[in-house]
């Protein structure tokens, strides 16, 4: 028995050594465990259009309203990152605290006359919109209600009178753009009608009822304010968008649609390209060739049944890398505007990967700030990438002899045989004489910089690192 045990153990040991030898021989010949090399060449004379300001955010910069004060004020950071647009949905969650943005907050008694200014409660929403405009951002105003997970469906049922609801919305537009009811002249362009009507936590009516509500409201808003842009409530799926577009395009009376609002949560940032193309094809198919695509909600998600895992990633360096990779992909996709979900106090530690619980910027915010640097440069430039570029997301811009390159190394998950390092050589034309490389991660969210004289540089990029490379 003892001899059998010894021979068994010896056999297991031999098998382990044999398999290990095969493994290391394989990795030595394929380089699977070695650092992977890539070469990038930026020809700043070859431009490819302009960098689109896609780094919008849902909510903020002021949030967490309590006793006439704000728990979080990120105005300075929004300004520093040049946040171009802020969408107001799920604002001051839940239910707008019965004070902000939602129709039931602004027009609390639906039995009242929509022409009567005293029937409206604008005070807190006025403060919120003022904070957005003070940051320099545009507003995408969602007309509707916040999501309701309570099961009570208090505010997400179809309005009892679609025409009257549309009139209320028109008066809200009039208040913020035309000065009605002691209002303002903000010239808010984007007005989104409802949100995710295919989601039972957002709309308890049928798809046909939503299409009817949209059609009535869009017509009234465009008849009274032809200068604004009206769009559908953010759709989660191409199937929902297909039904909506098919329905409104078949109407005997024209239904205006200036932008199609859509949402995508994923762990694969490269998928935004195919998703946006599918939405663009649908719009073109149904005759809305001039309608914009607004990706009005986006963030990391691998599984709706495991939100805790998603929130942990969103708070991490991987979440920051995802943001950078997504913005890079969106630039080359048919997306006209985009707003990350979310930037408000209520979602610190969950959906907000930009700031920590004290409001200090994280590496995710740095991705937004560096993307803004590309926007300021303006002209997108071609980047010739050679070698091992799998998992590398990169976007370059230039202007008058200066250039910037946003770079990240992202993978949805790290495989056992995957390399966790990319060795990268970046080359520029001979006239470049100075290169500054800044690398950021979870431990160094603002980044650590290195200055190199010459027209080429080499760096190592760890998995989920962000890098911004300036050359002049």
Q: Please, which pLDDT band fits residue 31 given cuts at 50, 70 and 90?
A: very low
CA distance 378 to 53: 10
Instruction: Report the pLDDT value the prediction gives residue 147, as an integer from 0 to 100.
Output: 96
- Comparing 71-80, 312-321, 405-414, the range with the smallest average pLDDT is 405-414
Q: Please, which pLDDT band fits residue 43 given cuts at 50, 70 and 90?
A: confident
The pLDDT tens digits for 73-124 are 999 999 999 999 999 999 999 999 999 999 999 999 999 999 999 999 999 9
CA distance 267 to 349: 18
Span 214-238, average pLDDT: 97
**C-alpha neighbours within 13 Å on the C-beta side of residue 111:** 0
Q: What angle do CA 96, 337, 377 make, to 5 degrees?
A: 125
Instruction: Report the pLDDT value the prediction gives residue 48, as an integer from 0 to 100.
Output: 87
Q: Dihedral, CA atoms, 135, 141, 142, 147, nearest 10 degrees?
A: 20
Q: Please, which pLDDT band fits residue 13 given cuts at 50, 70 and 90?
A: very low
- pLDDT for residue 29 is more than 60: no
Q: By C-alpha distance, which of 207, 221, 323, 332 is closest to 276?
A: 332
Instruction: Enumerate residues 6+ apart whose C-beta is below 8 A from 317.
Output: 363, 441, 442, 443, 464, 465
Q: Please, which pLDDT band fits residue 11 given cuts at 50, 70 and 90?
A: very low
- pLDDT for residue 131 is more than 80: yes
Both structure tokens of 415 = 């495989």
Span 217-229, average pLDDT: 98
Q: Please, which pLDDT band fits residue 151 given cuts at 50, 70 and 90?
A: confident
- pLDDT for residue 71 is more than 90: yes
Question: Could you tell me whether strands 421-427 and 456-462 are parallel, antiparallel, or unpaired per DSSP bridges?
Answer: antiparallel
The pLDDT tens digits for 232-244 are 999 999 999 999 9
**pTM across the whole model:** 0.91
H helix runs in 116-161, sequence order: 123-134
Span 429-449, average pLDDT: 96
Residue 261 CB burial class (10 angstroms; 0-12, 13-18, ≥19) = buried
Q: By C-alpha distance, which of 117, 100, 101 is closest to 194?
A: 101
The three-state secondary structure class of 282 is: helix
Regarding predicted confidence, which is higher, 470 or 9? 470
**Length of the chain (residues):** 472
The pLDDT tens digits for 352-396 are 999 998 999 999 999 999 999 999 999 999 999 999 999 999 999
Q: Please, which pLDDT band fits residue 415 given cuts at 50, 70 and 90?
A: low
Instruction: Enumerate residues 6+ apart whose C-beta is below 8 A from 37.
Output: 387, 388, 422, 423, 424, 425
Q: Which residues pair with 72 in a beta bridge?
A: 63
Q: Please, which pLDDT band fits residue 337 given cuts at 50, 70 and 90?
A: very high
The three-state secondary structure class of 50 is: strand
Q: If you write DSSP's letter for every residue of 161-197 in order, what string do you get?
A: -HHHHHHHHHHHHHHHHH-TTT-------EEEESS-T
- pLDDT for residue 30 is more than 90: no
């Amino acid at each position: 028995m003892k001899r059998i045990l010894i021979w068994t153990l010896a056999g297991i040991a031999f098998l382990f050594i044999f398999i290990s030898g095969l493994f290391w021989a394989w990795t030595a010949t394929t380089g699977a465990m070695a650092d992977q090399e890539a070469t990038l060449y930026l020809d700043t004379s070859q431009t490819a259009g302009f960098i689109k300001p896609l780094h919008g955010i849902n909510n903020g910069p002021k949030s967490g309203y309590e006793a006439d004060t704000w728990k979080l004020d990120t105005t300075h950071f929004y300004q520093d990152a040049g946040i171009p647009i802020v969408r107001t949905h799920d604002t001051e969650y839940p239910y707008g605290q019965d004070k902000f943005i939602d129709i039931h907050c602004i027009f609390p008694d639906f039995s009242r006359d929509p022409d009567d200014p005293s029937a409206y409660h604008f005070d807190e929403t006025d403060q919120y919109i003022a904070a957005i405009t003070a940051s320099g951002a545009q507003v995408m105003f969602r007309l509707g209600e916040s999501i309701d997970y309570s099961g009570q469906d208090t505010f997400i049922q179809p309005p009892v009178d679609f025409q009257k609801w549309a009139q209320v919305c028109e008066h809200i537009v009039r208040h913020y753009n035309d000065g009605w009811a002691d209002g303002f002249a903000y010239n808010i362009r984007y007005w989104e009608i409802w949100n995710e009507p295919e989601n039972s936590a957002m709309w308890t009516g049928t798809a046909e009822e939503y299409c009817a509500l949209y059609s009535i409201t869009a017509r009234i808003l465009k008849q009274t304010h032809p200068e604004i842009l009206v769009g559908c409530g953010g759709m989660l799926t191409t199937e929902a968008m297909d039904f909506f577009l098919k329905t409104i395009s078949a109407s005997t009376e024209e239904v205006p649609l200036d932008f199609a609002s859509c949402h995508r949560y994923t762990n694969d940032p490269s998928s935004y390209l195919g998703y946006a193309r599918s939405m663009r094809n649908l719009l073109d198919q149904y005759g809305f060739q001039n309608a914009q695509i607004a990706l009005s909600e986006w963030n990391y998600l691998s599984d709706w049944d495991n939100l805790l895992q998603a929130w942990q990633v969103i708070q991490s360096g991987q979440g920051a890398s995802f943001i950078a990779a997504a913005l890079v992909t969106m630039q080359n996709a048919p997306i006209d505007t985009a707003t990350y979900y979310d930037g408000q106090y209520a979602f610190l530690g969950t959906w907000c990967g930009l700031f920590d619980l004290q409001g200090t910027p994280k590496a995710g915010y740095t991705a937004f700030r560096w993307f803004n640097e590309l926007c300021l440069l303006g002209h997108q430039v071609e980047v010739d990438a050679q070698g091992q570029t799998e998992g590398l997301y990169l976007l370059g811009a230039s202007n008058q002899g200066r250039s910037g390159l946003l770079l990240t190394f992202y993978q949805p998950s790290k495989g056992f045989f995957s390399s966790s390092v990319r060795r990268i050589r970046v080359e520029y034309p001979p006239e470049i004489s100075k290169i500054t490389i800044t690398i950021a991660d979870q431990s160094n969210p603002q980044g650590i910089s290195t200055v190199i004289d010459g027209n080429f540089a080499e760096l190592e990029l760890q998995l989920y690192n962000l890098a911004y490379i300036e050359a002049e």
